[in-house]
Amino acid sequence: MTHSLQKLGIVAGGGELPIRIAEACRARGRPNFVLAVDEFASAVPNHLEAERVPVSKLGRAFAALRRHQCRDVVFAGKYERPGERIRFRPDLTAAWFFIRNFGPFRRSDDTLHRIMAKEFERAGFRVVSPLDADPSLAAPCGALTRRQPVNLSEADLLKALMAAKEHGHTDEGQAVVVRAGEVVAREGKAGTDAMLADLAQRGNRGGVLAKAMKPDQIRYVDPPAIGLSTISAAAAAGIDGLVIEAGATVVVDVDAVVAAADAADLFVVGVEAPTA
């Protein structure tokens, strides 16, 4: 019975993913509530149950999720650390959070994700992965597109994927570009699209964009993701195609992504990473 499904609170950052999850929940009959983070989230369609809250008002966020009877929570979309661009006036709950976590908060993004998830769990919520909230988001194994990576063997694709995982050890990003077996670009804090834009400016064409979950990354916060903007940026950079970690990479609107990749004559292939 769909009525037995837990109501899902979607903590929405930037991009398409939060609304994609909300619509998928509606299609499956799962109740949901979008908590849109003011500084990042786009406008939420009127037919979805939603509220907006500033990133610094953690207590207000918890109260809204409880008021809407959300037990499960998913982080979806793009976030960034508070900085000069973001006016940060924490409420009491957020202030205590930063006092408790001042050291970890200044470290890596993965540490930040972990402590944020822990804080929501501390408040009584269960944090789930976007891949669990909407299983259809997970990249399947094999070629998604008409174009096949005909000049690359399975070993070549796996090597590119493992190069992305190796880069993940640095906690700088989840993606690299590999050309002729060598890494020619690495994702930084600005993200995949920024890396591809920089590559496009350099004018060196060809290669494979590889994206994978970082080693030891917690599955339920910030899994690797691709969407229409990724395909557009890859095409502009002259990339031949994408290899993504099957089962662990979010594909936002797979039909649209595949159609765009086909139109740009790019391949998109899901490859399983070996288990430890």
Confidence at residue 5, expressed as pLDDT on a 0 to 100 scale: 66
Q: What is the C-alpha separation between 237 and 200, in angstroms, rounded?
A: 4
Q: What would be the CATH architecture of the domain defined by 2-133?
A: 3-Layer(aba) Sandwich (3.40)
pTM of the model: 0.82
So what's the pLDDT on residue 174?
94
User: According to the model, what pLDDT value does residue 250 have?
Assistant: 94
The segment(s) of the chain belonging to CATH 3.40.140.80 are 138-271
**Cross-strand pairs, 250:** 138, 225
Per-residue pLDDT of the chain (276 residues; tens, 9 = 90+): 334 568 999 999 888 899 999 999 998 899 999 999 988 899 999 999 999 998 888 899 999 999 999 999 999 988 765 554 555 677 666 665 665 665 655 555 555 667 788 889 999 999 999 998 889 899 999 999 999 998 899 999 999 999 999 999 988 899 999 999 999 999 998 889 999 999 999 987 899 999 999 998 878 878 899 999 999 999 999 999 999 999 999 998 899 999 999 999 999 999 999 875
CA angle 212/213/219 to nearest 5° reads 150
For residues 30 and 218, give the distance between their C-alpha atoms in angstroms, rounded to a whole number: 24
What is the identity of the amino acid at 10?
A: I
Portions of the chain given CATH number 3.40.50.20: 2-133
Q: Report the chain's C-alpha Rg in angstroms.
A: 19
Query: What CA–CA distance (Å, rounded) separates 102 from 201?
Result: 38
- Fold of domain 138-271: Cytidine Deaminase; domain 2 (3.40.140)
User: What span, in angstroms and rounded, lies between the C-alpha atoms of 15 and 191?
Assistant: 13
> Torsions phi, psi of 14, nearest 5?
-80, 160
pLDDT of 1 reads 33
* 3-state helix/strand/coil string of the chain: CHHHCCCEEEEECECCHHHHHHHHHHHHCCCEEEEEECCCCCCCCCCCCEEEECCCCHHHHHHHHHHCCCCEEEEECECCCCCCCCCCCCCHHHHHHHHHCHHHHCCCHHHHHHHHHHHHHHCCCEEECHHHHCHHHECCCEECCCCCCCCCCHHHHHHHHHHHHHHHCCCCCCEEEEECCEEEEECCCCCHHHHHHHHHHHCCCCCEEEECCCCCCCCCCCCCEECHHHHHHHHHCCCCEEEEECCCCEECCHHHHHHHHHHCCCEEEEECCCCC
Q: Which pLDDT score is estimated for 219? A: 80
CA distance 250 to 231: 14
Q: Given this model, what pLDDT does residue 167 score?
A: 97
